[in-house]
Structure 1
């Protein structure tokens, strides 16, 4: 890398702090407030973002894919990290080719935040937005026969061909043009002369045997296009799952999301043997109440926990509306000091309760780590495996309105 890890982290922190007071004109669902410091007397939850963990995960992805460039998927508020904050960190890295999003709003937020690298919109958008997309230099996806309806007005703004990517549906049946009818459309667009193909991509079902068939279909269209004199550009198909489990799909570039941020996409036990990921977030709050239960006292809605002996409990002002899963009561623990404590009762909208034990070892104001690093039990992959909560939900459901801070 061109700059040292320490210098990179310092410059990232400075850049994020400098831009944290700049408002964005679009919805908070695509971005999050960034602060330079969390006050020492804050009880409500916050999210720490760890750039060193992000760097580590990128290095692991690069190692697993033999140095392929990375198109960083930064959808859904950058998997909880905060859209512009994560992008500002990632853009400085030469390993990152650009960014992929699935909402037009997110693409525009990135440009407004000063992101210069390529931004690829992997979604349909209204024709009325075509000019705005062109003005913001956002790469659209060709996903259906109506592509030329937005290509033609965009070409006038570009003053030439429109840089775009082809989204092929090879069996996911979710988005993209079906591989069965792709060639006539590709020929039509190529003959139109107003598109500069930057790449072609697809998504896997993540069912191993069928994934092989999908890749075969994908490469068949690429080969047919080449024979027809249509150069589609960079080939990319591998999301986080294929980064670990399907090397044949690494192609020209990889397109991971979850793995960059510290989550194993499918099988943590198996995939952790191939590469070690670190959580890029620490979801924290402070204890707001400590109380001793008598035998027979219960906790929260439904009385799912009833003390069978005198027991200390602590209340944390974090609930499912903040992103802490209801399933946390099925085996999750939180870290307070250097010890972990089980979540009990029920995770309500704004509160969770933990069992402290027969000694009052926790005080009001103690910092609680609910998801993150510091102990294996709060790692998002451990929580997912223990409770059955999706690791994707643990990241993506973090409330976007909570403050993010670089550490």
Structure 2
């Protein structure tokens, strides 16, 4: 089996679990348990899930990331209304950790006509999921217009292949073209590989069958990010080579695009320079005789704060998931965005420790008084940042807590408060084993932390907090779309 096939087949955790609308215990996906309900133990076996990669049933005591598809649909409508142009749902990195299959389908229902991913293996996997869901493949006609029923899928990070490797049967580029993907080109080497793959596809087309059509490419230009894209020096020659390939019938340049480096800093002046360079690149492309049908420059930050960059298409990423590109400029709430992920787990143990007792590896935290501690079965093996040691926030039973000691591979310890009064009288624990701990969520009450809170503690960005969540944490779907999605990896049981 080719390597790209293995990459495409593994890890279908994006559809690991689906919860019927209103099904216990997740009907109210943002509310902490009440004192009365917590004793019923929401983790007592009401819901069972199956790991999509292995088919192995997951115990009801597992951690889980609850994904609110209604929130994603709401965010899509809010941002699309701001943009006022067709939009691409960016679902790279397993939809920023939210589950690529369900999120893609929700975005298509919300009006997306494009889907975008970075890695080719993920693009092939997504195309297979769309096929299984009955979403039609697009035409390779350069002039065809995508629709939510027949969306286009753009991939921008390609394997490094020689033309001979690209043309070989079973190559990832040939698989990409056969799947109808749009591909990004930044260099002559990438162009040559795609041309070779496209020519091989044309040569191998069956007698009497219509030709598959030219490979569709988007030329990426570097406008100041200094990361990917053709440089101003290389662009004229690359544009001429693309024109020659177009004339041969092997490719069609349908897009011109770039990426903004400081769109979340409206006062920096950087975006104006990016746009000026992009327009200059557009003139170079036109001089070569190329006619891109779609130009795209703005992602979520550009869409929100740089209206001149919206052009023909906007790429909506972090905003889909209810997170602001820069909370210092505008919070999610100010933008009317609803965070879609809630990470939660049951307390597996509650214990009392005396004043002065050290906690976790290295003893970096010591109890200032007699304390109640709770053990949570999540750690850096699940994507919890080790930088959250001694500070990562949590909430249980309406009480704000925090991680104490170092984050371990599989678990963290949270401080549940004093075990005695200042006078020495005993204080009962505020939580019990089985009670639900929320590490981050929508933040729609005074105690629930958000991904932004975690990003601040860990000196990072909210993108990283949600995206790094690992496959050991099943994604459980809520919302109206959850009941309409294929759910081969979900089963419901009753205690």
| TM-score bracket relative to the smaller structure | 0.7 to 0.9
> C-alpha distance in 1, partners of 2:410/2:193?
47
For the 8 Å contact 1:183–1:225, the answer to whether it is kept is yes
CA distance in 2, matches of 1:172, 1:200: 16
**8 A contact 1:44–1:318 mirrored in 2:** no
Contact 1:335–1:375 (CA under 8 A) maintained in structure 2 = no
1:84–1:24 Cα change, 3 Å: farther
Corresponding position of 1:139: 182
Q: Is the 8 A contact 2:88 2:315 kept in 1?
A: yes
**Distance between the aligned counterparts of 1:295 and 1:108, measured in 2?**
55
Q: How far off its partner does 1:287 sit?
A: 0.3
Within 1, Cα distance between the matches of 2:62 and 2:305?
Answer: 39
Checking the alignment, whether the CA contact within 8 Å between 2:194 and 2:215 is kept in structure 1 is no
Query: Per-residue displacement from partner, 1:90-126 (whole Å, max 9, x unpaired)?
Result: 22222x1211111111011111112542110112233
Aligned to 1:188: 241
Structure 1 unpaired stretches of 5+: 1-22
**Is the contact between residue 85 and residue 312 of structure 2 (CA under 8 Å) also seen in structure 1?**
yes
In 2: Cα distance, 1:331 partner to 1:363 partner: 21
The CA distance in 2 between the partners of 1:304 and 1:33, in whole Å, is: 39
1:218-229 to 2 correspondence within 5 Å?
A: 218-229=278-289
C-alpha separation in 2, matches of 1:168 and 1:58: 27
Q: How does 1:116-265 map to 2 (within 5 A)?
A: 116=135, 117-125=151-159, 126=161, 127=166, 128-146=171-189, 147-155=191-199, 156=202, 159-192=212-245, 193=247, 194=249, 195-206=251-262, 208-265=268-325
Distance (whole Å) between structure 2 residues aligned to residue 239 and residue 324 of structure 1: 27
SS in structure 1 opposite 2:269? helix
The CA distance in 2 between the partners of 1:330 and 1:277, in whole Å, is: 29
Q: Which residue of 2 aligns with 1:84?
A: 101
**Do the aligned partners of residues 121 and 25 (structure 1) sit closer, same or farther apart at CA in structure 2, a change above 3 Å counting?**
closer
Higher relative contact order (CA 8 A, sep 6+): 2
Name 1:384's counterpart in structure 2: 455
Aligned to 1:68: 85
Deviates more, 1:345-354 or 1:170-179: 170-179
Whether the 8 Å contact between 1:319 and 1:350 is mirrored in structure 2 is yes
Q: Is the 8 A contact 1:72 1:255 kept in 2?
A: yes
**Residue 18 (structure 2) pairs with residue 36 (structure 1):** yes
1:236 positional shift = 0.6
- The verdict on how the C-alpha distance between 1:161 and 1:87 changes in structure 2, with shifts beyond 3 A counting, is same
- Give the alignment partner of residue 434 of structure 2, picking from 351, 365, 371: 365
Q: 1:330–1:387: 8 Å Cα contact kept in structure 2?
A: no
- The 1-side partners of 2:333 and 2:412 are apart by 33
Q: 1:317 to 1:129 in 2, by over 3 A?
A: same
**What displacement does 1:213 show?**
1.3
Larger helix percent: 1
Question: Which residue number in structure 2 is paired with residue 105 of structure 1?
Answer: 121
CA RMSD in angstroms, aligned pairs only: 2.4
1:269-314 superposed Cα distances (whole Å, 9 cap, x missing partner): 5354761322111111100000111112221112222122221111
Deviation at 1:228, TM superposition (A): 4.7
Q: Deviations over 1:175-233 (max 9, x none)?
A: 22213321332233223323222211111221633332121111112133335542112
Matched position secondary structure for 2:471: coil
Report the counterpart of residue 320 of structure 1 in structure 2: 380
**Secondary structure in 1 matching 2:433:** coil
| Residues 327 and 136 (structure 1), Cα distance of their counterparts in 2 relative to 1, 3 Å cut | same
- Provide structure 2 residue ranges, at least 5 long, that are not aligned to the other structure: 1-5, 20-24, 26-42, 46-59, 136-150, 206-210, 419-427, 479-495
Distance of 1:150 and 1:391 partners within structure 2: 35
Residue 400 of structure 1 is aligned with which of 455, 462, 471? 471
Distance in 2 separating the partners of 1:111 and 1:273: 33
Task: Say which SS state the counterpart of residue 381 (structure 2) adopts.
Answer: coil
- CA distance in 2 between partners of 1:180 and 1:170 (Å): 12
Task: Indicate conservation of the 8 Å contact 1:371/1:379, yes or no.
Answer: yes
- Structure 1 or 2, whichever has the larger Rg, is 2
Give the C-alpha shift of residue 172 in structure 1: 1.6
Deviation readout 1:141-163 (Å, 9 max, x if unpaired): 12211313322432516533222
Residues 43, 287 of structure 1: 8 Å contact kept: no
Deviation at 1:391, TM superposition (A): 1.1
